[in-house]
Amino acid sequence: MAKTNPTQTWLRWLWPPALLCVAATLLPVLYLGVRSFEHGLPTQDLFSPQTAGLLLRSVGLAVTTALLAVAVSTLCALGTSVFAVSGKRMLHVLCVAPLAIPSYVGAATYIAALSPRGPLAQLLQPLGIRVSSPSGFWACVVVLVVFNLPLAYLPIRAALLRTDRSVYEAALLLGKSRLQALWVAAVLPARSAMVSGGVLVGLYALSEFGSVSLLRYDAFPRVIYLQFQSAFDRTQASLNALLLVLCLVVVVVVSEVMQRRLPPVHAERTRPLVLAPSRVQQLAVAALVVVVGVLVLLPVVALLFWLKAHDGSNLDWVWPAVRASLTTGVMGTLLATVFGVPLAVLLHRGQGRWHTFLVRFVDVGFGMPGLIIALGLTFFALRTAPALYQTWGMLALAYGVLYLSLSVSSIRGVLARLPPSQEEAARTLGKTPATAFARVTLPQLKVGVVGGALLVWISCMKELSATLLLIPAGEHTLATRLWAFTDEAMFADAAVPALLLIGIAALGVVVVHKTESSS
C-alpha cells in the first residue's frame, strides 16, 4: 500500500493562488482563441508562408540573443565571482545597470549616437572611419543582449558564487588545465541558472517589438501589431498571436525539461573558490569593463547630452508621472511577490510533470506582447467586471500577468540551493511541515524575494504598451511620457523622463544591493 509522503500534503494549500495566476495568464490566450475562432475554423490562406518565415526569424533572434546573453553573462559573472580581480566591483555594477535602462531608450540612443551626423561620426571622421546607424539582425542581438544582461547575469553569478573549491582542486590534481577545472567546478553546476536566465532573455526577445522595429528588423511581433491595427477582422491577427503563444509554450516546456535533466546542486557548506587571475584574464576583465561600460553608459551619456538642450520649462508633468510610475511599480511588485512565493515553491517541490508545466505556464505571460494582454483583459473585464475596467487594479493585474515570471524565477533559484535537510531537521524538532517551511525556508528566501521584486518593479515602471491602453484616462507614467516625447523627436524633453526612470531604477538597485550584502 503506497502511502503519501507526509511532507508534501501542505503544498495543496498553495494551489489556489497558483491556479489563480494561471487563470489570469490564460485570459489573454482565451481572448485570442475567441477572436480566432469566432468565425468558424480558420481557412488555409490566413497563414501565409511569409508569416512562417517571420516566425523563424523571431525564433532565430530569440535563440541567438539567449545564447549570447548567457555566454556574456557567464564571462562577466566569472569575472565578478570567482576571480579576485581589480575592477570586479565596477564590472558588477555595469552588468546590473542595464536593469534601469529601457531597451527602446537604449536602441534609440545607439541609433542617434552612431548616426552619420552624430557626435561619434564627427569624432572619428578625421581618422577616416565612417559610421552608420545600426540596423538589422546583429544590431538587434547586441541591443537585446546588453539591455537584458541582468536577467541572465544575476542568477548565473549567484550560482557561480557557490562554486566548490574542492571540486576545482580535485580537477587540477587529475591533470586538467585551469580552464578545464573551472569548467567542471564552476560552469557546469551553474547550468540551471543559465537555463532559467537564458529562457527569460529568450522570451523577452521573442516578444520585443519597440527596439527591434527601431533597428529595422522584421520580426514576428510586428506582424501581430500590424494586423491588430488593421482593426477590421481580427481573426488573422489573433491566429498569429496564438502562434506566438504556442512558441512561448514550447520554449517554456523545453526549458523545464532541460532543468529537470540537470543534476541538483545543493550548497552545503563549501569552501568558496577564489582564484588569482592570470595576466590574460586580468586584461580580459578590463576589456569587458570597457566594452560593457561603453554599451551601458552610452545611453546615459547621450541622454545627459540631450538634457543640456532642455530649457527647463514644461516640467509640471514630472511629479504626477513619478507618482504614477511608483504606484504602478509598487502594485505590480506586491502582486508578483505575493503570488511568486507559492508558485516558486510549487515548482520546486511539486511532484508530477503536469503540475510543473501548468505552473510554468505563467512564464508565457512574460513573453506575451503588452497589446495582447491589454486587449485580452479588456475583453473579459467589460463582460464580467466593468467597474474594474481602466482602473489601477486592472493595470496591476496586467503587470502581474506580465512579470510574475521574473519573481518566480528568482525565488526558485534560491529555493533550489537550500538543502532539504534543514526542513527535515525542523520537523524532527516538532514543527509541522508548514511551520518548518515558514520558520526555516521562508526567512532564507528573502534574497530571492527581494531580487525578484526589484526586477518586477523596474519592469513595471518601464512598461509601455499595456499601460497606454489600461491606465486610468488622464494618467501618465514616466514611460508613457518618454514615449510621447521620443515619438515626436523631442529629445531634450524625452531626456527628462528617461533619466528619471533610470535614476529611480538605479536607486532601487542600490538599495537592494545593500540589503543583499548585509544579509
Partner 1 sequence: MTQTASTPALRAEGLQKSFDGNVVVDDVSFTLQRGEIFALLGPSGCGKSTTLRMLAGLETPDEGRILLGDDVVNDDHTVVPPEQRHIGLVFQQYALFPHLDVTANVAFGVDDKSVAVDMVQRVGLQHRADAAIHDLSGGEQQRVALARALAPKPSVVLLDEPFANLDASLRQQVQAEVRSVLQQVQATALVVTHDQQEALAMADRVGVMWQGRLLQVATPQELYHQPASPEVAAMVGAGSFLPATCAAEGAGDPTVVTTTLGALAVSGGVHGGTEGRAFVRPHQVKLGAAGQKATVTSCRFFGDHHVVTVDVDGVQVVAHTSPADGASEGDEVFVDVVGEVVFFADGGSLP
Partner 2 sequence: MPTCKRTALVATTLAALFALACSDKSSTPDGASSSTPKAEAAQELTVYSGRKEALVGSLLQDFEKKHNVKLKVRYGKTAELTALLLEEGKASPAALFLAQDAGALGALEQKGALQKLDDDVLNLVPAMYRSPKGTWVGVTGRARTLVYNTAKMKAEDVPSSVFDLTDPKWKGRLGWAPSNGSFQAFVTGMRVLVGEEKTQAWLEGVKKNEPKVYPKNTPIVRAAADGDIDVGLVNHYYLYRFLKDDPKFPAKNAYTKAGDPGSLVNVSGVGILASAQPAQQKLAKELAQFMLGKDAQAHFAKNTFEYPLVDGVQGPAGLPALKDRQPPKLDLASLHDLQGTLKLLQKVGALP
- Which residues bind to partner 1, rule: CB under 8 A? 1, 3, 5-7, 268-269, 419, 421-422, 424-433, 436, 439-440, 443-444
Q: Which three cell numbers stand for residue 20?
A: 489563480
Residue of 23, 56, 226, 442 interacting with partner 2 (CB under 8 A): 226
Binding mask 155-174 for partner 2 (x = CB under 8 A): --------------------
Binding residues among 93-122 for partner 2 as defined by CB under 8 A = 111, 115-117
Nearest distance from C-beta of residue 323 to partner 2, angstroms: 5
Residue of 17, 42, 60, 320 interacting with partner 2 (CB under 8 A): 320
Nearest distance from C-beta of residue 104 to partner 1, angstroms: 40
Nearest distance from C-beta of residue 449 to partner 1, angstroms: 13
Number of H helices, E strands in the chain: 25, 0
Could you say which of partner 2, partner 1, none residue 484 binds, taking C-beta under 5 to 8 angstroms by partner kind?
Answer: partner 2
Binding residues among 29-68 for partner 2 as defined by CB under 8 A = 48, 50-51, 53-54
Distance from chain centroid for Cα 302 = 24
Could you say which of partner 1, partner 2, none residue 72 binds, taking C-beta under 5 to 8 angstroms by partner kind?
Answer: none
Residue of 330, 433, 503, 513 interacting with partner 2 (CB under 8 A): 330
DSSP string over 244-277: HHHHHHHHHHHHHHHHHHSPP----S-PBP-BPP
| Cβ proximity of 402 and 365 under 8 Å | yes
Binding residues among 238-297 for partner 2 as defined by CB under 8 A = none
Q: How many CA atoms are closer than 13 Å to the CA of 348, on its beta-carbon side?
A: 25
Is residue 83 classed as helix, strand or coil in its secondary structure? strand
Could you say which of partner 1, partner 2, none residue 424 binds, taking C-beta under 5 to 8 angstroms by partner kind?
Answer: partner 1
DSSP 8-state symbol, 477 = -
In this structure, which amino acid lies at residue 66? A
| Cβ proximity of 407 and 332 under 8 Å | no
Nearest distance from C-beta of residue 333 to partner 2, angstroms: 8
If binding is defined by CB under 8 A, does position 214 make contact with partner 2? yes
| Choices 160-168, 193-201, 214-222, 352-360; region in contact with partner 2 by CB under 8 A | 214-222
If binding is defined by CB under 8 A, does position 354 make contact with partner 2? no
Q: In this structure, how many other beta carbons lie within 10 angstroms of the beta carbon of residue 511?
A: 12
| Cβ proximity of 196 and 259 under 8 Å | yes
CA distances from 413 to 10, 154, 157, 178, 345 (A): 21, 10, 11, 27, 11
Could you say which of partner 2, partner 1, none residue 6 binds, taking C-beta under 5 to 8 angstroms by partner kind?
Answer: partner 1
Could you say which of partner 2, partner 1, none residue 393 binds, taking C-beta under 5 to 8 angstroms by partner kind?
Answer: partner 2
CA distances from 102 to 18, 36, 189, 298, 299 (A): 29, 32, 31, 13, 10
What is the Cα Rg of the chain in Å? Answer: 24
Residue of 233, 264, 351, 434 interacting with partner 2 (CB under 8 A): 233
Nearest distance from C-beta of residue 448 to partner 2, angstroms: 13
Could you say which of partner 2, partner 1, none residue 444 binds, taking C-beta under 5 to 8 angstroms by partner kind?
Answer: partner 1
Residue of 25, 103, 109, 227 interacting with partner 2 (CB under 8 A): 227
Report the C-alpha gap between 398 and 330 in whole angstroms.
13
If binding is defined by CB under 8 A, does position 484 make contact with partner 2? yes
Of 117 and 279, CB closest to partner 2: 117
| Closest by CA position to 217, among listed 116, 145, 141 | 141
Q: Which three cell numbers stand for residue 175?
A: 591533470
Could you say which of partner 2, partner 1, none residue 426 binds, taking C-beta under 5 to 8 angstroms by partner kind?
Answer: partner 1
Nearest distance from C-beta of residue 406 to partner 1, angstroms: 24
The count of residues interacting with partner 2 (CB under 8 A) is: 75
Of 7 and 390, CB closest to partner 1: 7
Angle, helix 49-81 to helix 191-207, in steps of 10 degrees: 140
Distance from chain centroid for Cα 490 = 29
Of 278 and 488, CB closest to partner 2: 488
Nearest distance from C-beta of residue 517 to partner 1, angstroms: 15
| Cβ proximity of 265 and 417 under 8 Å | yes
| Choices 64-72, 283-291, 434-442, 470-478; region in contact with partner 2 by CB under 8 A | 470-478
Binding residues among 409-468 for partner 2 as defined by CB under 8 A = 446, 450, 465, 468
Could you say which of partner 1, partner 2, none residue 414 binds, taking C-beta under 5 to 8 angstroms by partner kind?
Answer: none
Nearest distance from C-beta of residue 464 to partner 2, angstroms: 10
Report the C-alpha gap between 515 and 447 in whole angstroms.
8
Nearest distance from C-beta of residue 49 to partner 2, angstroms: 11
| Closest by CA position to 399, among listed 451, 470, 348 | 470
CA distances from 492 to 193, 294, 313, 386 (A): 40, 22, 11, 40
Q: How many CA atoms are closer than 13 Å to the CA of 473, on its beta-carbon side?
A: 1
